[in-house]
Chain A
Amino acid sequence: MFIGNTKKDREEMLKTIGVNSFKDLVKQVPEKFLYPEFKLPQEGLDEMQTASAMRELAARNKQLKSFVGAGAYERYIPAALKALLSRGEFLTAYTPYQPEASQGILQTIYEYQSSMAALYEMDYGNASMYDGASSFAEAVRSAVRITGRKKVLIAQSVHPQYLQTLKTYFPPGEDYKFVQIPHKDGCLDLEKLEGLLDRETACAALQSPNFFGLAEDFSKVSALTKAKGALFVAAADPVSLALFTAPGAQGADFAVGEGQGLGLPLNYGGPYLGIFTCKKEYLRQMPGRLAGMTKDKNGKRGFVLTLQAREQHIRRDKASSNICSNEALCALGATIYLALLGPGGLKELAQANFDAAHAAAERLCSIKGVSLKFKGPFFNEFTLALPCAAKELRSRLIEKENIDPGLPLKDFYPELGETLLVCATETKTEKDIARLEKAVREATA
């Protein structure tokens, strides 16, 4: 499939190469390794059969009315975004290593970096990482490298899979110390943070809105970390930042986030977008690619990949990270999405999320025995305390009502009891929320 050369072409090419047969070309491969048996279907499908088989598989996924968020958010994806992103010129381009032939991609990266720096109120953003969790881990790695310290404080309210990823990013057996900062009513316990911070601490790694959906006040954190020579790493949902204080305004040294919510589909976990930003003093510690504006020899504006001496293809084992392929097309999607929204549209979107989640919370809390687990302000999801087993409620609603009411938190936080993390984004209507309320009411009765 997809091969242009005909048998005749190949024969003539082999003649030009100066061999009698293809076998003569691969004499460097010991013969016994060539053409082993493959226990695979002996016939490939044609395009129509493939499309049909895959449509059938796609239909096997249940189309649920889902109220699950937990770090990945259902978003309406504008038609113009889809149209632009599917352009072959973007889709099939390579990393812009030849800048004169890649000005389009390079300028979009520059615009992406600018948008992220503006949104997070940080000095600089890079061209992207794999996802929010790996960005978070790389930011902590940067903090460890900069401070030369090995103790990392992580809020207990950080996404549990971010914590798991972070731990994987530090090889075992090298006395790194990960200490969890307990939460108080769902939010960071500032006194505990102060008590845990010491001269051994590389950074405090926090998240807002946190895993429970709560928006946190981190305004006092940077003074505390600075006093001990430690850094402040903050994770934040980019859409929430239209309404809530940005990490930069709270003094974060590194700010990261999951960019999926900027117009990318849920896609069962990927490809997503790792947002990575930092203060200017840490620019040369940044992992990943950077596009910069410069001039050509006639003085005309142009863009190049820059500060590449940080990267693996130049620095090899001394590089700031091993990252090579990133999530460029997803970053472009986020850039186009933000261009379509502008500051006004982004605020409207964030407000629509806030309103949907608060409307859902009010309705659900009108059910007997159902209440908010935590009192603090939240953005587009919240933790609900239930009068019954959360997992059973979820299975029942999925099976009977085609509704996924939210994520039970017991596996992650057993101490919270029967709770459900419920999310409503701009895609949820009054009717959807009424359906959810009715289903939960009946199931808990």
Chain B
Amino acid sequence: MNAAALIARDELRLMRRNRVAVIASALLVLLTLVAVASSWSHQRGIEDLRARHQHAAERAFDAQPDRHPHRMVHYGTFIFRPLGALATFDPGVDAFTGNSMFLEGHQQNTANFGDVNQSTLLIRFGQLTPAFVLQTVAPLLLIFLGYGAIARETERGTLRVLMMQGATRGAIVRGKLRALGMVALLVALPAFLGLVVLTATSGAAILPTAAIVLGYGTWLLLWVTVIVLVSASACRSRDALLTLVAIWAVSVVLLPRVAPDAASVAVPLKNRLQTEVAIARDLRRLGDAHDPDDPHFSAFKRSVLQRYGVTRVEDLPVNYKGLLAIEGERITSALFDRYSGASHAAQETQNAMVRAVGVVSPAIALRSLSMAAAGTDFAAHRGFLEQAEAYRYDLVQRLNRMQADGVTYADDTATDAGADRRKRVGARNWEAMPDFTYHAPGGTALAARALPGLFVILGWLGLAAALLAFATRRMGERR
């Protein structure tokens, strides 16, 4: 057995004989197992609930009786975003954004204008997930087990004893890295195994899983390296411990909280009320379809009459009110798209700022990587919103088109006793409407989105390794 292996074996023996270390390690492994199990159970519950509600909403829509199409526009429908299998590992922004949307005409509902950007990187102390355990708790355990790895040897004089026995500085450092690395592996193993089982049983893509395993493996390796680096540089164990806890507090707790707050201040978002007031104001400016003198709708009417070669709306082969609804929806949707686009752009700017801070805080980079690979980041949420909006627009316009083609203008404007019945279209039309299908990003796309975070963590690992190599050369020298 070489010197590094002997030193690693002794370091692990020291940990095994330290009751507190054994209990802490066992608790963390247990915590990881509980996190995997509870997160899996929680996500399954959410998934089942959403599937049930989605089915119920579709059934309710399909089961509507004969109705006027515009009534169905306002009746609307609910859609739910199905979660990917890896959301069990890292639910990301899901808990903050919500994934159900009520789709109706003239409105873009739910989280389109929500203050979602902070949620992308919030520390989720309330959620016990494997990602949280590995991101936040595991480094703490590694710190408490490893802070004295070399500082203790320096302090007690055993470092020179090791060197006197022929162990080189490099062998000592490699031995300590190996021992702490094995502890990190022990801690991560339940989460990684859970992830692999999850991937295998759910048919999830392999690439995002590989990105998560690689990212968290690098993250823990980075902590192992930093811990040994600080331990090798400190003269006393206590100094090493304080330094490492400070590094943990700043990089894992403080920066990931402060960065989104700073981004929110730098790029403020309008709140829901402000947005709704602004949209209402713009809607008034766009025009009123019921006002015969409204310039926009007067022009629209002229163009329709001209297109069909008639002089009165009553002579049109289609229901003018249906065409008016199509035009109205087009205009309001464009307006909503403009606002949601501006909001998304602002949120993206905020996220870009936070990602920039990730260069100095690998914890932020890891969270970005983790959520991106799990398909639970802001980009994935935005993708859902865009698909939902596309579906809503298509559904509403189909209903508007149904009004234009299936209900005559005369019936639509009639007010006699039987008019209401004549305005209705058959219930079978609702069943013919396509259901919402969420197209989740592919495995390659998710893995590609995780790459920038991985590169940042790898960069940090390289830097820490270089500093450790420098510190190793000075170990044992008189200071």
State yes or no: do A and B come from one complex: no
On B, residues with C-beta under 8 Å from A are none
On A, residues with C-beta under 8 Å from B are none
